[in-house]
Amino acid sequence: MSIPFKEPKPSLQYDPGTEIAALDAHFTKRNVPTSQDGQLLLATWNIANLGAQGRPSRALPVIAHILSRFDLIAVQEVNDNYKVFQKIVQEMGGKYDFVFSDKAGNDERLAFIYRTEKVALDRLWGEVALTKNQYPKRTVTVHYRKGGKGQIQKFPNFRFVPFDRNPYIGSFQSGAINFVLANVHLYFGEFENSASEEMRKKYARRVLEIFALARWANDVHSGKNAWDRDILLLGDMNVPNTDKNEATIKALKSFGWGSVDYISNQEIGVDVTNLSQVGGSNLGNDRTYDQIAFAPSTLNGKIGRFGVFDYDNAIFRKKWDDISAELSPQKAVSLFARYVKHHISDHRPLWLELRTT
């Protein structure tokens, strides 16, 4: 079951037009490009509890405006009750349409929103549903601390449990490029540095879901019957950070796949001055849960700018001014985040520019 973020009291009142103007100024500040011929703006965004959370109607145009900056968006946490999601797409205007999966774990759907004048649906659609003989079995190493000292626990031959939410696969065409996207919301479980063995096993499951996804993508990419070898994995992968010793990012990289949060400018040919000034894709700015990852393919040479859009540093300025005048900085940040989570989300969009010529 989804656990909606409740709104703090008093209720937040705002004019959507004012917030949209603030977003436009912030798009410019963060150098987020506008949609142009010859390029595709791809994004992924986990919009928390979408359809399961009591957002007011005034929040929907604000969410829609953020989404409409991009041409193709993978959305996670669309609830089985998809009506709110449908209203948001309608708010984006007639140039946008969507497709989504059936509900899975946590009553969630995975969705793609696309700009119809720039993106066409191709013929491959489905889910990553592995058969038992494809389940990976792998030794997972988990780091934790005990008595103030770093410890390691190995879970030998740890078995994959089927995806809680099967990744949703869609094939697309834009300009001269074709590609397959796997939209994912992977198992969270627990953090690596967990106190109990039971919690560390939940983290190990998290690692193995990522490994299973990467292995599936590698098998398809290198197989002779691939519909398209240009495969991108994107969505909420629950990767806490991209440190080289973090087990989740190591699992993602197991087959040579690289995340845009991790790959160096030498590897993809991108000037680091183009990178966003923002760190994490969470409101706390310290986690890289959301990822866009590529196989080594022709698309690597077409990557332009990319970054995270921190809309939370633009919207609800009056509320922030009121809170910060009354509370300590730490309490003000915490309370403000509760308003943002309820009205918008606890995740930020991760975006990427692809050349389509």
Over the stretch 214-246, which tens digit does the pLDDT of each residue have? Answer: 999 999 988 889 888 899 999 999 988 877 777
Average pLDDT of every residue of the chain: 90
Residue 275 has pLDDT above 50, yes or no: no
Asked which of 69-83, 138-152, 296-310 is least confident by mean pLDDT, the reply is 296-310
Average pLDDT over residues 91-95: 95
Residue 172 has pLDDT above 90, yes or no: yes
pLDDT at 272: 32
Q: Give me the percent of the chain exceeding a pLDDT of 90.
A: 75
Cα–Cα nearest to 354, from 31, 45, 42, 32: 42
pLDDT band at 264 (very low <50, low <70, confident <90, very high): very low
Cα–Cα nearest to 310, from 288, 345, 281, 339: 281
- pTM confidence score: 0.92
Question: Which phi and psi angles does 310 have, rounded to 5°?
Answer: -90, 70
Residue 268 has pLDDT above 60, yes or no: no
Asked which of 50-59, 120-129, 169-178, 288-297 is least confident by mean pLDDT, the reply is 288-297
Average pLDDT over residues 301-318: 94
For residue 13, what are the contacts with CB-CB under 8 A and spacing of at least 6?
none
pLDDT at 256: 75
Cα–Cα nearest to 3, from 144, 115, 106, 154: 106
Residue 273 has pLDDT above 60, yes or no: no
pLDDT band at 270 (very low <50, low <70, confident <90, very high): very low
Angle of the 59-67 helix axis to the 16-29 helix axis, nearest 10: 30
Please determine, looking at this structure, whether the domain spanning 16-355 carries the CATH number 3.60.10.10: yes
pLDDT at 298: 75
pLDDT at 108: 96
Residue 1 has pLDDT above 70, yes or no: no
Distance CA 191, CA 144 (A): 9
Asked which of 70-74, 179-183, 217-221, 352-356 is least confident by mean pLDDT, the reply is 217-221
Average pLDDT over residues 286-301: 84
Cα–Cα nearest to 289, from 341, 249, 247, 250: 249
Residue 277 has pLDDT above 60, yes or no: no
Average pLDDT over residues 149-170: 94
Element (H, E) at 325: helix 317-326
pLDDT at 280: 85
What SS3 state is found at 108?
A: strand
CA distances for 263 relative to 29, 151, 258, 296, angstroms: 24, 29, 6, 11
Dihedral of CA 77/82/84/85: which sign? Answer: positive
Helices (H), 5-47: 16-29
pLDDT at 269: 38
pLDDT at 255: 82
